[in-house]
Amino acid sequence: MTISLDLPLELENELSAEASQLQLPLSEYILRVLSFRPFLQNPPKTGLDLVAYWESVGVINSRPDIANSQEHARRLRDQAEHRERA
C-alpha cells in the first residue's frame, strides 16, 4: 500500500535525521517507527516478556556471524579502549 503524507517540515527533518543516523531510507525508517506502535502501547513487563518480544521481531539470533557473543563484546571493548582519539 502506498500512502502520501504532507508532514510538517520540522517533523520531516527530525525523521530524516534519525533515518540518516541509522543509514536507512526515510520510508523504511517510518515503517519501522509505525511497526513499534503495539510495543509502545503494551510494553513488556518482565525480562521474559522482553526476550520473547526480541525473538518475535528477529533481534535475537540476528547476527549468525557472531558465534561467541561474549568474545565479540570483549573485542569491541578492546577496540574502543585502544582507538586513537581525534
Summarised one tens digit per residue, pLDDT across range 27-86 is 999 998 888 887 778 888 999 999 998 888 888 888 889 999 999 999 999 999 998 876
Note if the pTM is more than 0.85.
no
Return the ∠ at Cα 66 (arms to 48 and 71), rounded to 5°: 90
Among candidates 69, 3, 74, which has minimal Cα distance to 60?
69
The amino acid sitting at 83 is R
